[in-house]
Copies of this chain bind each other. A is one copy, B any other.
Amino acid sequence: MFQIRTDLAVETSESRRGEKDVSGFRVETSREGDGIVITKVCIETQKAAKTLGKPRGTYISIEADQMMEEDAGYHREISDVFSRQLKQFLPEDYNNRKILIVGLGNREVTPDALGPKVIDHLFITRHLIQEYGKYLMEFDQCCSVSGIVPGVMAQTGMETVEIMKGIVGETRPDLVIAVDALAARSIKRLNRTIQITDTGIIPGSGVGNYRNAITKEHLGIPVIAIGIPTVVDAATIVADFCSGLMEQMDRTEQEDGMFGSGVYGEKSFEEMVRDLISPKLNTMYVTSKDIDEAVNRLSYTVSEGLNMTFVPQEGNVS
């Protein structure tokens, strides 16, 4: 009807809750620790992927209302849960492997700076391992971690996937982890959800510009995408609101025994809405007023989780 955009599989799956089961599509929910909800969405067939409008693969989301609280202990708990969920996507022998972590997005735009800020806090080890070799590696099961902040196309003139392909071809990592800010459908999920998926990522989708996909297909090695929704598309917020409005109107009209859902003159309610949604709205997004604090805190939570996964150390081991 109206285009509702979300990068979160958990939101896509929610909107399907009422429908009769889509085959090839599974959702599992569990709880951990203090109010942390884990949802696993599996899109198993090409048909389910098409129906749901999301690529085939596994999506895990970690949701916690308190993710925005200033509580160092709680953030450590989330980092820990995140690290354990992430390991489900890694091969058993991932230790000692070479991991390239890419921080997607535009550092100059606060809600889009999540990826670059995560890279800022990583333990980067590739150059140390290359220089000191086994000496460094023997005392720990430490991965070779490299990191890059490629920038966005307006800054570089290049597709992010071009930059990534070049670097992957030259430095030969075993796995790419792409961290990006996402767009949610619902403002209640903003800054409160971490999604991990094995489908790769479409950079810029967090703020709406289509870019070539960063996927195993393009890079030749597995790509795990980690994202946190920091924005809602402005068109989505209006369209979503109108959907809610229509539902209410339909309900009340039916109760009143009135006919049809909002036909006004020659235009349907839907057409009126579509006419009013300005094309300019498509270059707009909604974000929260404390987005600077949210992105700072969440970038630490994610980088801590990545560090405890790939460079376990005294005081870092969960």
Contacts and interface: CB of A to CB of B under 8 A. Distances in A.
A165 interface: yes
B248 A276 contact: yes
Nearest to A120: B155
A169 interface: yes
A115 interface: no
Contacts of A253: 264
Contact of A289 (B144, B209, B238): B209
A286 to B, nearest CB: 5
Contacts of A276: 241, 244-245, 248
Copies in the complex: 4
A281 interface: yes
Interface stretch (A6-14, A41-49, A121-129, A134-142): A121-129
A256 interface: yes
Interface string A270-312: 0011001110110111111111110000000000000000000
B284 A285 contact: no
- Report the contact-size class of chain A (Cβ under 8 Å from the partner): 35 or more
Contact of A292 (B109, B170, B208): B109
A151 interface: yes
A269 B272 CA distance: 15
A109 B287 CA distance: 11
The winner among A158, A187, A277 for most chain B CB atoms within 10 A is A158
A18 interface: no
Nearest to A278: B187
Contacts of A283: 288-290
B238 A157 contact: no
Interface in A103-154: 106, 108-110, 119-120, 123-128, 144-151, 153-154
